[in-house]
C-alpha cells in the first residue's frame, strides 16, 4: 500500500502554481547569485561614459576632426544605447550594469525629453512660413514648389536653386505669391510685399544667403534665407565643417544687424541646434521646433530622417506651432511653422 501511494504521488500532476511563486523563485535565485553585483563592470563603465558624453558634450574638443560637433549633430541618437546596454545587462544577469543605466536615462530625458512632449503646438498665429532645400538635381521643380505652397504658407523660402531651373519655380509659385526675390541659389516668395532684398555675404564666394523685409499686416519682419556650406565625414579629415562654421559666424553678424526687431531665419544650416559651432546664430534666436513642435522634427535625409539640419528660427516673435511637411523629390523634408507677431 505504501508503495502504491508513493507511485501515485510521483505520477500526480502538479497543482496550480500559487501567485507570485515564480517571482519569489527568481528573487531567490538572484539573491543567492553572489556574482550579480560583480558581473557587468564593463557595461556599467559604458553607461557612465555615455552619461559623460550627454552631460559634457560641449567640452569635447573640435580640435581633432571636429569630433565635438559631429557628436552634437547626432546627440539625440545616443539615447538608443540605453536599451542596448539594458539588454546586454539582462543577458549578463548583472545588477550593476542595469542599475548604472539610470544615469544616462535620466540625463537623456532631461536634455531631450521636452522635445517628446506633445501639446506644445497651438492654434492661432499671424504668419505661416515654410522652407525647403529643393535639391539642385530635383527632377520635378514645379511639383515640388506646388507641394510646399500647398502647406498654406504665407512666406516660402527655397534653397539650392540651380540657375537653369529658377524659372520653373517662379512659374509654379507666381499665382500664390505675387512678391518674390531670388539671390544666387536662394529665393523668397511672399503673399505680402517685399521691401529691399539683398544678398548676405556668408564668406563663400557666391551668394547662398539673402535678407528681405516683408511688410505683413502686423508690420515689417526681417526675413533671412540661408544655405550654409555642406559638411562631410571623412576618415582622413573627420567632420569637415570649417567652411560651414565660418559662414555661420558671418550669418550671425548679419542677423545681429537686422533692421527690424522681428526676425525670421529660414534655411538649410547643415547643422543642428546642439552644434556649438552654430552658436553665432543659435545664441540669438529660438528654434520653432524646440519651442512649439511635437517631436524632434528631423528633416534629413528625407528617406530616413536622422537630424534636423533645416531650421526655422525666430527673434522678437512667438512660435505657435512647427511641423515637417510630406516628402518631395528632394533629399530634404520641407518644414513649416506658424508664428505670432
pLDDT tens for 115-170 read 887 668 888 899 999 999 999 999 999 999 999 999 999 999 999 999 999 999 99
List, in order, residues 6 or more apart from 35 with CB less than 8 Å away.
Answer: none
Phi-psi region of 125 (alpha: psi -120 to 50; beta: other; left: phi over 0): left
Parse the chain into domains and list their residue ranges.
Answer: 8-116, 127-340
Q: For domain 127-340, give its CATH number from 3.10.20.30, 3.40.50.300, 3.60.10.10, 1.10.260.40.
A: 3.60.10.10
Q: Tens of pLDDT along the chain (341 residues)? A: 445 545 554 555 555 556 566 656 545 555 556 678 888 999 999 999 999 999 999 999 988 888 999 999 999 999 999 999 999 999 999 999 999 999 999 999 999 988 887 668 888 899 999 999 999 999 999 999 999 999 999 999 999 999 999 999 999 999 999 999 999 999 999 999 999 899 999 999 999 999 999 999 999 999 999 999 998 887 767 788 899 999 999 999 999 999 999 999 999 999 999 999 999 999 999 999 999 998 999 999 999 999 999 999 999 999 999 999 999 999 999 999 999 99
pTM: 0.86
pLDDT at 9: 47
Q: What is the tens place of the pLDDT at every residue in 278-309?
A: 999 999 999 999 999 989 999 999 999 999 99
Distance of alpha carbon 330 from alpha carbon 270, whole angstroms:
15
How is residue 289 written as a grid cell? Answer: 521646433
Query: Are 68 and 58 a contacting pair, CB within 8 Å?
Result: yes
Distance (Å) of CA 43 to CA 33, 40, 50, 219, 310: 18, 5, 11, 57, 36
DSSP, collapsed to helix, strand or coil, labels residue 96 as helix
Give the side-chain half-sphere CA count within 13 A for 118. 0
DSSP letters of 165-227?
Answer: GHHHHHHHHTTT-SEEEEETTEEEEESS-EEEEEE---SSSS--EEEEEEEETTEEEEEEEEE
Amino acid at each position: 500500500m505504501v508503495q502504491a501511494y508513493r507511485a501515485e504521488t510521483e505520477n500526480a500532476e502538479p497543482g496550480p502554481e500559487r501567485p507570485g511563486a515564480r517571482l519569489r523563485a527568481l528573487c531567490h535565485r538572484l539573491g543567492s547569485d553572489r556574482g550579480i553585483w560583480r558581473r557587468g563592470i564593463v557595461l556599467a563603465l559604458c553607461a557612465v561614459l555615455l552619461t559623460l558624453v550627454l552631460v559634457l558634450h560641449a567640452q569635447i574638443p573640435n580640435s581633432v576632426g571636429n569630433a565635438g560637433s559631429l557628436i552634437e549633430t547626432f546627440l539625440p541618437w545616443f539615447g538608443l544605447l540605453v536599451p542596448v546596454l539594458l539588454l546586454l545587462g539582462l543577458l549578463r544577469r548583472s545588477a550593476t550594469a542595469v542599475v548604472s543605466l539610470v544615469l544616462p536615462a535620466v540625463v537623456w530625458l532631461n536634455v531631450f525629453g521636452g522635445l517628446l512632449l506633445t501639446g506644445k503646438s497651438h492654434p492661432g498665429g499671424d504668419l505661416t512660413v515654410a522652407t525647403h532645400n529643393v535639391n539642385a538635381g530635383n527632377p520635378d521643380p514645379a511639383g515640388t514648389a506646388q507641394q510646399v505652397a500647398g502647406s498654406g504658407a504665407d512666406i516660402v523660402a527655397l534653397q539650392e536653386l540651380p540657375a537653369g531651373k529658377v524659372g520653373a519655380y517662379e512659374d509654379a509659385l507666381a499665382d500664390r505669391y505675387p512678391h518674390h526675390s531670388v539671390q544666387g541659389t536662394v529665393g523668397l516668395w511672399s503673399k505680402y510685399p517685399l521691401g529691399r532684398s539683398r544678398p548676405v555675404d556668408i564668406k563663400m564666394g557666391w551668394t547662398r544667403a539673402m535678407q528681405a523685409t516683408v511688410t505683413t499686416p502686423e508690420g515689417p519682419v526681417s526675413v533671412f534665407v540661408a544655405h550654409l556650406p555642406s559638411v562631410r565625414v571623412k576618415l582622413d579629415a573627420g567632420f569637415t565643417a570649417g567652411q560651414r562654421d565660418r559662414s555661420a559666424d558671418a550669418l550671425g553678424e548679419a542677423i545681429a544687424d537686422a533692421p527690424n526687431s522681428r526676425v525670421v531665419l529660414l534655411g538649410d544650416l547643415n547643422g543642428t541646434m546642439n552644434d556649438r559651432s552654430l552658436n553665432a546664430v543659435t545664441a540669438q534666436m529660438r528654434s520653432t521646433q524646440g519651442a512649439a513642435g511635437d517631436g524632434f522634427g528631423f528633416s534629413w535625409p528625407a528617406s530616413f530622417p536622422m537630424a534636423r539640419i533645416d531650421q526655422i528660427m525666430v527673434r522678437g516673435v512667438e512660435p505657435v506651432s512647427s511641423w515637417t511637411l510630406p516628402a518631395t523629390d528632394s533629399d530634404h523634408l520641407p518644414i513649416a511653422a506658424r508664428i505670432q507677431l
